[in-house]
């Protein structure tokens, strides 16, 4: 088996970046989901679930930790990493509340115009990151602005199985994985507990319950009228928690990943 693709999402629920190599830190892939949009009044996080056009928002990570924001019809904006004196904003993501640096008024005006209502852009440094969901992993496992865990892995054969059942090819980016594995059987990842990619070991902590976001075409931002592929997933991958597709991971060390690296199942 080998690592066949790497994806990073610097801004939660915006477009992904396709990578050939990337480093890891305590929060997963360097720069992955360290930024987020929130409703200015409530501090509640915004995603494609409610704002489908976020699929057309590009947010590229730079080496200093800042973002380059762009979208069709909008001028590009360079957003620097907030400094240590930047004001903090209270935000809510799922059941977690935290205070994180705000990116400032220029960025706030840009994202407000794009979203169509008062919105702020925020960033999470490692020292302000959340802990992962209770009952999974270790007490000191942390996550940035991903839904629950630092990394998501999907087997290429699992996508091919789902595409066959739906009756049309599906884009991997609908499911927003970080790591794609080639050479395993469909849904083999359901039974993995620990894997090694290159020199880095990962714990498989929880299957990923999928939502309406999977029905959004990542190229156009439009929802599929037939609710696919979620409808099919609910027929053959349903559990009490939802329709499962992919596995959440935690990395046990830092290091670097590169497309083509061998993947070994340790347990």
Residue 17 shares a structural domain with residue 66: no
- Which of 1, 7, 39 is closest to 152 using CA atoms? 7
pLDDT tier at 198, thresholds 50, 70, 90: very high
| Distance, CA of 50 to CA of 229 (rounded, Å) | 18
What is the tens place of the pLDDT at every residue in 207-263? 999 998 899 888 888 888 899 999 999 999 999 889 999 999 999 999 999 999 999
Helix, strand or coil, per DSSP, at residue 190:
helix
- Which of 191, 194, 199 is closest to 249 using CA atoms? 194
Residue 20 shares a structural domain with residue 143: yes
Residue 111 shares a structural domain with residue 147: no
pLDDT higher than threshold 80 for residue 135: no
Residue 164 shares a structural domain with residue 258: yes
Residue 43 shares a structural domain with residue 157: no
pLDDT for position 139 = 80
Burial of 229 (0-12, 13-18, 19+ CB in 10 A): buried
Helix, strand or coil, per DSSP, at residue 129:
coil
Residue that terminates a domain, selected from 73, 107, 131: 131
Compute the average pLDDT of residues 92-113: 97
Number of domains in the chain: 2
Residue 9 shares a structural domain with residue 50: no
More confident of the two residues 131 and 44: 44
Residue 83 shares a structural domain with residue 148: no
Q: What is the pTM of this model?
A: 0.95
What is the tens place of the pLDDT at every residue in 22-51? 999 999 999 999 999 999 999 999 999 889
Residue-range definition of the domain harbouring residue 17:
2-26+139-265
- Mean pLDDT across the chain: 95
Respond yes or no on whether the N-terminal peptide bond of residue 229 is cis (omega within 30° of 0): yes
Residue 61 shares a structural domain with residue 93: yes
Residue that terminates a domain, selected from 131, 162, 184: 131
Residue 105 shares a structural domain with residue 214: no
Residue that terminates a domain, selected from 72, 105, 131: 131
Name the percent of the chain lying above pLDDT 90.
Answer: 87
pLDDT higher than threshold 80 for residue 134: no
Residue 254 shares a structural domain with residue 171: yes
């Amino acid at each position: 088996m080998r690592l066949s693709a790497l994806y990073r999402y610097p801004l939660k629920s915006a477009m992904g970046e396709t990578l050939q190599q990337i480093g890891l830190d305590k929060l997963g892939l360097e720069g992955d989901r360290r930024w987020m949009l929130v409703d200015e009044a409530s501090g509640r996080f915004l995603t494609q679930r409610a704002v489908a056009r976020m699929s057309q928002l590009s947010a590229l990570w730079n080496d200093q930790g800042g973002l380059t924001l762009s979208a069709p019809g909008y001028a590009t904006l360079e957003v620097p990493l907030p400094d240590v004196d930047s004001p903090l904003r209270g935000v809510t993501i799922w059941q977690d509340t935290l205070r994180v640096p705000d990116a400032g008024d220029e960025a706030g005006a840009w994202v407000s115009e794009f979203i169509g209502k008062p919105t702020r852009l925020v960033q999470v440094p490692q020292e302000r990151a959340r802990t992962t969901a209770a009952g999974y992993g270790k007490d000191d496992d942390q996550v940035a602005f991903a839904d629950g865990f630092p990394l998501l892995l999907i087997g290429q054969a699992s996508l091919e199985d789902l595409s066959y059942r739906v009756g049309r090819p599906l884009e991997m980016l609908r499911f927003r994985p970080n790591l794609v594995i080639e050479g395993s059987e469909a849904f083999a990842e359901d039974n993995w507990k620990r894997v090694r990619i290159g020199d880095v070991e990962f714990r498989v902590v929880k299957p990923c319950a999928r939502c309406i976001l999977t029905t959004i075409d990542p190229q156009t931002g439009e929802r599929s009228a037939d609710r696919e592929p979620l409808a099919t997933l609910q027929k053959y991958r349903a559990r009490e928690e939802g329709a499962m597709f992919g596995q959440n991971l935690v990395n046990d060390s830092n290091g670097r990943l590169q497309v083509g690296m061998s993947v070994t199942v340790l347990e």
